[in-house]
Amino acid sequence: MSQRRTFFEQVNAGFDRAVAMTDHDPRLLTQIRECNSVYHVTFPIKRDDGSIEAIHAWRAEHSHHKLPTKGGIRYSEHVNEDEVKALAALMTYKCAIVDVPFGGAKGGVKIDPRKYSVRELERITRRFTYELKNKHFIGPGVDVPAPDLGTGPREMAWIVDTYNSLSSGELNSLACVTGKPVALGGIRGRTEATGRGVFFGIREVCSLEEDMKALGLATGVEGKRVVVQGLGNVGYYAARFLQENGAVLVGILEYEGAIASPKGLDLDGVVAHRKETGSILGFPGATDIPTSRDGLELDCDILVPAAIEQQITDENAPRVRAKIIAEAANGPTTFSADKIFRERGVLVIPDAYLNAGGVTVSYFEWVKNLSHLRFGRMQKRYQEASNLRILSAIENQTAKSFTEDEIEKFGRGAGEEDLVNSGLEETMALAYLQIREIKLRYGNRADLRTASFINAIDKIAWCYKDMGIFP
């Protein structure tokens, strides 16, 4: 049944389940649910061999209740209009959940980036940016793209450069896109941000003894057996921070298959092995699982789907053995798989909360670009000097004499990356408290996804109500 629902319908099914528990005006809910605008463009590009190819690209702006709209641009051969609308909707709810002042958007270019040369990718990116600018679908106060599947700082650099050349003299033009290289107005910590946010979210969830007890698990991340699907930017950093904090990586899934080891896999060892051999399979000491999707059913405490949407369906959900599903990807669990998990008492940490670290740090980057000032530049040395004065006062008043290491540790002022990571940690912790509070308020009726939707819908509804548009 559920497999016939499109991705956007899946997202809306989750939305509808949540709104049934609220008493907002149905007309207002329709306004929130619908996608406000979609731009579909087809443009020709010249391939390196001289042939011409028509490229399809989309940008969906789901909600204009706050501006600019925000969301990544993905390069994937599976991109279609329904997908960008679904992902744009998830961005709207995501931004509301973590209190980032944007509406949601998403873009997609229907290409497999591995089949194009760097020069071809540059031509495609610059042309798409031109089309977006032309139709008013990009700008610091309009719509601000970022990296997503198949794109990264390099593509963002081409976007900002193209935008700049089309709007010379626009003071805030650097803020037209986030996830840029640091030298071009990016921010330290953005690359790792989504994975770091995933870790912070999992850590928050695992820190509550009562909730862990209900799952038959010990409190804390340490010792938890984790399986990660996808070693892209999000999956890699989520796995890395989990491992650094004592979790045991018992399985890794990639396109070519999966590998498992109950004793734990060395993440960087696997990455190096894949670079050398072209595959994660055959990693020394691990068991090969040739069909990647079978890896989702490995015995573990936490399953982290960090690849693409609709990986866990009503077909495989009954066989998933994890007690916690940590949705690092957007939309990895279908609506009916979600129902199975609710019935089985599996805890799903929803995407719209868990992977919001990326857009949170994008927000910091956007603010940095608008303020034209690096975070920490004004305070770092001042803070350092006052910390050193306190340390020396302690030394003068007591017999204590600080070591060089202690002086370095206690004395240093916060730089950009420290502040970004601290702001991200605060955001993920606070948002989880809000969601959990709603979940408790609604008793057994609300799971974490429903509570996240209620949280987002309430916040968006208030914007319309405060404008006097709806009662």
Positions in the binding site for ligand GLU (CB under 6 A): 70-72, 146, 148, 178, 330, 355, 358-359, 362
Buried b (16+ CB within 10 A) or exposed e, 274-303: beeeeebbebeebeebeebbebbbbebbbb
- Residue 71 C-beta: closest distance to ligand GLU, Å: 5
DSSP reduced 3-state for 37: strand
Alpha-carbon distances of 469 from 197, 340, 459, rounded to whole Å: 35, 38, 15
- Residue 375 C-beta: closest distance to ligand GLU, Å: 17
Of 283 and 432, which CB lies nearer to ligand GLU in the complex structure? 432
- Residue 197 C-beta: closest distance to ligand GLU, Å: 9
Half-sphere exposure for 469 (CA within 13 Å, toward CB): 13
Q: Widest CA span of the chain, in angstroms?
A: 78
- At 200, the amino acid letter reads F
- Residue 409 C-beta: closest distance to ligand GLU, Å: 32
Cβ–Cβ under 8 Å, residues 333 and 316: no
- Within 10 A of 68 (CB to CB), how many other CB atoms are there? 20
Of 94 and 224, which CB lies nearer to ligand GLU in the complex structure? 94
Of 72 and 376, which CB lies nearer to ligand GLU in the complex structure? 72
The angle formed by the CA atoms of residues 364, 368 and 372, to the nearest 5 degrees, is 175
Of 72 and 411, which CB lies nearer to ligand GLU in the complex structure? 72
In whole angstroms, give the CA distance from residue 311 to residue 407: 49
Of 330 and 427, which CB lies nearer to ligand GLU in the complex structure? 330
The residue number with the shortest CB distance to ligand GLU is 72
> Which residue among 70, 85, 94, 106 is the active-site one?
106
The first and second tokens of residue 358, run together, are 């990326």
- Residue 256 C-beta: closest distance to ligand GLU, Å: 24
Catalytic-residue membership of 106: yes
Of 124 and 234, which CB lies nearer to ligand GLU in the complex structure? 234
- Residue 291 C-beta: closest distance to ligand GLU, Å: 27
In whole angstroms, give the CA distance from residue 235 to residue 227: 10
183, with CB counted inside 10 A (0-12, 13-18, 19+), is: exposed
* Catalytic sites, residue numbers: 106
